[in-house]
Chain A
Amino acid sequence: MKGAAGRLLPEAWLGLLFLYFFVPLLATGAFSLWEGGSRYGFAAYVALFHQPKLWQSLFLSVRLAVETILLGLIVLVPAVFWLNLRVPRLRPVFDFISVLPFVVPPIALVAGMTALYTGPDWLVGTPNYLVIPYVILALPYTYRALDLGMRVLDLRTMTEASQSLGAGWGTLIFRVVVPNLTTALVGAALLTIAIVMGEFTFANILLFNTFAVYINYVGQTSATQASALTLLSFLITWLAMLGVLVSGRGGRSVQIGGAR
């Protein structure tokens, strides 16, 4: 009896957790299907999907996410590589910098960016400007993922082994380091997507119509469409997180053993 009760307890907790997380989503989903009175249907979704602004904002956010991933990796892969290889004593400094985005509120960052609103036209007058704060926002996650991946790799031995075999830095990075960091790179990229797709403060204050800003706008004009959009954004974020989990599981064999 005691054993049976012991087995039931975790299941009960899981049930409660399920209710806690899914009841609001189910309610949101039900509300998004409400068409007034006692009618239910997909009117909100149809109306939403017919709005060009939705797709424009979605594509803009996806584009910004891709640009953020690229810039983040271009800056951080060599930096974290160098940190692990040559200046491990600077790790506390890197760790400190990497958590700054948690400490400095986005509103302070955006105020600073507005004050520095100068630069070439292709950057400042366009949504591309958002990539800079987005790289900073994603920094803690990208840095952690890359640092962990490189620490597991024993970078110094790998570097020296490949150099002794005649490889230059390019061969070392593209044939040895990057292929062994697949998990870390995919993880960093998907976390960045999740962050960029949901970022509101910067885009709203700098007056760019990203996906999150559009959700907010719709929320003020049509409640059911806003619910539909919320579910959609949840879906995107979840897919990204699922990707992190799946790549992490598959990637363990890449990290320790190798691609199959």
Chain B
Amino acid sequence: MPHLDIDGAVKRYGGKTVLHGIDLALGQGEFVSLLGPSGCGKTTLLRIVAGFELPDGGRVVLAGNDITDLPAARRNMGMVFQAYSLFPNMTAEENVRFGLKVRRETPAAQQARAAELLALVGLAEHARKYPHQLSGGQQQRVALARALAIRPALLLLDEPLSALDAKVRVQLRDEIRRIQQETGVTTLFVTHDQEEALSISDRVVVMQEGRIAQAGTPAEIYGEPANIFVARFVGAAAELRGRVRDAEAGLVELCGRVVPAARARGLATGAAVHVLLRPETVRLGPPGAAEALLEGVVASRVFFGALTSIRIEVDGGFSLAAAMPSAEAGAVAQGSRVSLWWDGEAPRVLAAE
């Protein structure tokens, strides 16, 4: 039995349907991310689970109990918000104790639990500070400690990292995952940042216009996008239009050349397809290399530290990016001609709509 079961959740605002019957189940201790662009319905779904919005259809079942109509205050869910949500009149410790006070736990129990949680998020020495004396990252850690202090049945994270700067984001992201694994709390995480979702989750649910576009492990979402939307949204990929030349042999025609694409098997020969190539799967070599599938000209190079992204104008009018270790990228000069190839298993082939 799933720990959280969202069954056919529908939400409408005025005449507009923002959730079209979402079905989603979370196992005990699972970390699931809802990923999607603004307006895809991910936050609305989270707010329905939290009890801040009532669905117009469907049910929310937690540990076997239907909580669809239960007020938020009685759901026992810890939540960390996008905006800083610590109570300004209380210290970090008082914030963490708030939920326990509401539950009428003894002061000694409150104090012990607050100390434990503040130590867990690495802020034991900041217990007596007020929110305005803490940095943004520290405030979100306290908010996390406060949400966990009540031993929630479910932890809800509503883009808790989006107000933080890049370095703190990554630190806190890793820490959220560590803490989640240590506490084993079932977690639903909302984000529009695919890197965040892929790096932190057991399972990623990509949402598009109020529907689930694909749900799967981060590797599945990245490597096997179910449709062109997911492929475009998650990770960078060159999108080339082609046609299946020989479905059985796994060959497609791209830019006038026949190239291997094993995943074309199963499609109809002659069908129009999108061929998706992740930059890290594209190999480059000098013109006329034995493995060459296509040739082109290096249009630009962008240095990203460990990797360099090289954009190539492929003969035939396409453009695609290749990522290679910066140490090797020095040999590929801008404006030079190169040949390209890839492993036959690498390209994702999707039937064109």
Contact = CB atoms under 8 A, between A and B. Distances in A.
Contact of A165 (B52, B71, B89, B99): B99
Given A257-B130, A257-B132, A258-B130, A164 B72 contact: yes
Given A164-B72, A165-B102, A167-B102, A258 B77 contact: no
A180 B87 contact: yes
A259 interface: yes
Contacts of B233: none
B73 A166 contact: yes
B141 to A, nearest CB: 15
User: Interface of chain A, helix or strand or loop or mixed?
Assistant: helix
Given A165-B99, A165-B150, A166-B103, A160 B72 contact: yes
In the complex, which range does the number of interface residues on chain B fall in?
35 or more
Interface in A128-185: 153-154, 157-158, 160-168, 171, 175-176, 179-180
Contact of A255 (B71, B86, B88): B88
B79 interface: yes
A83 interface: no
Nearest to A168: B73
B90 interface: yes
Nearest to B79: A164
B341 interface: no
B79 A161 contact: yes
Nearest to A164: B79
A157 B102 contact: no
B78 A164 contact: yes
Interface string B129-145: 01111000000000100
A176 B89 CA distance: 8
A13 B74 CA distance: 62
B147 interface: yes
B59 interface: no
Contacts of A5: none
Given A160-B79, A161-B81, A179 B102 contact: no
A104 interface: no
Nearest to A160: B52
Interface residues of A, number: 26
B249 interface: no
A160 B130 CA distance: 20
Contacts of B98: 162, 165, 167, 175
Nearest to A182: B89
B87 A167 contact: no
A109 interface: no
Given A257-B131, A258-B89, A258-B131, A157 B81 contact: yes
B348 interface: no
A258 B132 contact: yes
Most A CB within 10 A of own CB, among B74, B78, B85, B147: B85
Contact of A254 (B89, B91, B103, B133): B89
Nearest to B143: A161
B76 A166 contact: yes
Contacts of A168: 73
A175 B85 CA distance: 15
A256 interface: yes
Contact of A259 (B51, B75, B89, B102): B89
Contacts of B77: 164
Given A180-B89, A258-B132, A166 B74 contact: yes
B136 to A, nearest CB: 14
B181 to A, nearest CB: 22
Given A165-B98, A168-B73, A160 B81 contact: yes
Contacts of B147: 164-165
A174 to B, nearest CB: 12
A256 B88 contact: yes
B88 A180 contact: yes
Interface of A: 153-154, 157-158, 160-168, 171, 175-176, 179-180, 253-260
Interface of B: 50-52, 71-79, 81, 83-91, 98-99, 102-103, 130-133, 143, 146-147, 150, 156
29 contacts: A154-B85, A157-B83, A160-B52, A160-B85, A161-B79, A161-B81, A161-B86, A161-B146, A162-B98, A163-B71, A163-B72, A164-B50, A164-B72, A164-B73, A164-B75, A165-B73, A165-B99, A166-B73, A166-B102, A166-B103, A167-B99, A167-B102, A175-B98, A176-B87, A255-B88, A256-B88, A257-B88, A257-B130, A257-B131
Given A154-B85, A160-B85, A164-B73, 8 more contacts: A160-B50, A160-B72, A161-B86, A162-B98, A163-B51, A168-B73, A176-B87, A256-B88
Q: A-B pairs with the 9 shortest C-beta distances?
A: A257-B132, A165-B99, A258-B130, A161-B85, A164-B79, A179-B89, A163-B72, A166-B102, A157-B85
